[in-house]
Structure 1
Amino acid sequence: MQRDDLLAVLDAKLEPGRFKDYAPNGLQVEGRSEIRKIVTGVTASQALIDAAVAAQADALLVHHGYFWKSEAAPIVGIKRQRIATLLQCGINLLAYHLPLDAHPELGNNAQLARQLGFANAQASVAEPLLWHGDWGQGTAGQLATHISVSLGREALLLGNPQRRARHVAWCTGGAQGYFEAAIALGVDVFITGEVSEQNLHIAEETGVVFIAAGHHATERYGIQALGEWLGVTQGLDVQFIDLYNPV
């Protein structure tokens, strides 16, 4: 498959033009034009690039790529080494950030709901990146245990573990700033990847439980689902590589 054809397929599926993002979506580093093997993963770290090289990949498709608005522009140090490896080996780097978070089928939020068994999962009207649904199988403490087992990483619970966990909200990754928006939905529990100091006080003072389940752990499933979709619909050889990251 030609690179431009692959980009057209991904752009049609994820619609990156609908999002005002923190980094460019789509092709970030150009490699060879013909794509036969794709490696997918969460973050384009040097370790994942090296794994893609070992797998003889033509493209590396990730959720977290490069050129974030907050990062320094010069291509030096770690950034230089990563990009040099991609260029030397002819590997294309493709990244989709918010479009992959938000996709109603393949997105991180949709796939996390599927992984954790949430019913009636849907994006909120006010904030499309904030999802909510029903669990209703026990307490918040039992939900935290379920999350820990399902994601293979111990979840951090803030608040009352004995609260019933009927209605839950979630947003994968570093969405601890959405806690109050989740509370406004009338949920019992909010789940995200990371935690900030003030989340404890909000949980204690509102009674809504906050669960931090890991940035990497909550965002493994969207990129994996996207790769599987490409394999089925485009007949490409796609390999998901999940590198350990406890954060």
Structure 2
Amino acid sequence: MVNQKTLADYCHQYLTVDKFDDYCPNGLQIQGKSDIKKIISGVSANQALIDRAIDEAADALFVHHGFFWKNEPPTLTGIKKNRIKALLDNNINLFAYHLPLDAHPTIGNNAQLATRFDIKNPAPIGDTLVWQGEINTTLANFSNTVKQALSRTPLVFGNDEKTLKRIAWCSGGAQTYIQHAININADCFLTGEVSEQIP
């Protein structure tokens, strides 16, 4: 068992929350029980995950995508109201860590992708959220590695037979960071989202 404040303070320090100017508050977003015995984790605070936390009698829910994003309506109505009400009614704490979890050098999303894709010498590119590393495979083989590791078929642009030596990647909506990959002469850039933008 751990105290809610002790857990929040530990995560705040371990994930170096103060280093980030994020799109949402990181840390304890919704206060529940003081003593935490059981934690459920997931990517987003959607209704299915909240229902699972309720069914499992969890004391806390840890997510990457929580609530209260910049530029979203601040009102508690509709889906957001229902989700927050379910957490409050069941006295479940909601902890959310966005950019701090993407960037963490050990447990972060980018670090974990390097492990799952068997990328050698992974490291952030300077102070950015974009990472780089080394591989030696074709684009087709790397695409298959991504598919197997993430259980989803990636959208691929490029020559399947091209040999990849240096790769850059960033989890989540990082399509606008492609210039970082270009700057280091990466053979491939992997991001969690794609969109076309006119320069």
TM-score between the two structures when normalised by the length of structure 1: 0.78
Matched to 1:144, the amino acid is S
Query: In 2, Cα distance between the equivalents of 1:106 and 1:51?
Result: 23
Query: In 2, Cα distance between the equivalents of 1:65 and 1:7?
Result: 15
**C-alpha offsets along residues 121-147 of structure 1, whole Å, 9 cap, x if unaligned?**
00001x4200000111x2112111111
2:164 maps to what in 1? 165
2:132 maps to what in 1? 132
Query: In 2, Cα distance between the equivalents of 1:44 and 1:185?
Result: 35
1:83 maps to what in 2? 84
**C-alpha offsets along residues 100-158 of structure 1, whole Å, 9 cap, x if unaligned?**
01100110000110011000000001x4200000111x211211111111111001101
Structure showing the higher strand proportion among its residues: 2
| Aligned pairs for 1:1-247 within 5 A | 1-125=2-126, 127-136=127-136, 138-198=137-197
CA RMSD of aligned residues (A): 1.3
The question of whether the paired residues in 1 share the 8 Å contact of 2:125 and 2:180 is answered with no
1:217 maps to what in 2? none
Give the deviation of 1:54 after TM superposition.
0.5
Give the deviation of 1:96 after TM superposition.
0.5
Matched to 2:29, the amino acid is Q
1:236 maps to what in 2? none
Query: In 1, Cα distance between the equivalents of 2:179 and 2:5?
Result: 41
Give the deviation of 1:193 after TM superposition.
0.9
SS at 1:52 equivalent = helix
Structure showing the higher helix proportion among its residues: 1
Aligned-pair identity (%): 46
List structure 1 segments (4+ residues) > 3 angstroms apart after TM superposition: none
Query: In 2, Cα distance between the equivalents of 1:79 and 1:197?
Result: 29
Give the deviation of 1:70 after TM superposition.
2.0
When the two structures are aligned, how many residues end up with a matched partner?
A: 198
Query: In 2, Cα distance between the equivalents of 1:108 and 1:34?
Result: 28
Query: In 2, Cα distance between the equivalents of 1:149 and 1:36?
Result: 34
Unaligned runs of at least 5 residues, structure 1: 203-247
Matched to 1:18, the amino acid is K
Query: In 2, Cα distance between the equivalents of 1:62 and 1:5?
Result: 18
TM-score between the two structures when normalised by the length of structure 2: 0.96
Query: In 2, Cα distance between the equivalents of 1:75 and 1:151?
Result: 33
Query: In 2, Cα distance between the equivalents of 1:163 and 1:130?
Result: 22
Unaligned runs of at least 5 residues, structure 2: none
SS at 1:120 equivalent = strand
